[in-house]
A = this chain, B = another copy of it.
Amino acid sequence: MLTVTLKLVTIVAERVLQERLLRALKELGARGYTLTEVSGEGSRGVRASEWEGHNVKIETIVSPEVADRIIEHIAEHYFRYYAVIVYAQPVEVVRGDKYV
């Protein structure tokens, strides 16, 4: 099976950002995403929800360039005021052209 190595970018963020982040991903070149409802704790204790602790995890498989763009976008727009983390890992996929 012919596999290609791409990047899996994972964002964990407070739920109020969901719509905006998905819009941003699309604009930055992601061709799809998978979303999970999660909870968590980090350095920020509280967020704008009676449901503190409820976050979304957004995973998207993209080319390395798009991965960089996404990470930069999030660092620039969300790190300061919002509860959000982002990280990237290499993954092997088949049908590599589906994701770029």
| A interface residue numbers (CB < 8 A to B) | 1, 3, 8, 12, 31-43, 55, 57, 61, 68, 71-72, 75, 79, 85-95, 98
Question: Are B32's CB and A41's CB within 8 A?
Answer: yes
Main secondary structure of the interface of A (DSSP, over half): strand
Do A57 and B41 touch across chains, with their CB atoms under 8 A apart?
no
Q: Copy number in this complex?
A: 3
Partner of A89, one of B1, B38, B40, B92: B92
List 10 A-B pairs, Cβ < 8 Å.
A1-B68, A3-B88, A31-B42, A33-B40, A34-B38, A42-B98, A71-B94, A79-B95, A86-B93, A86-B94
Establish whether residues B34 and A40, one from each chain, have CB atoms under 8 Å apart when the complex forms: yes
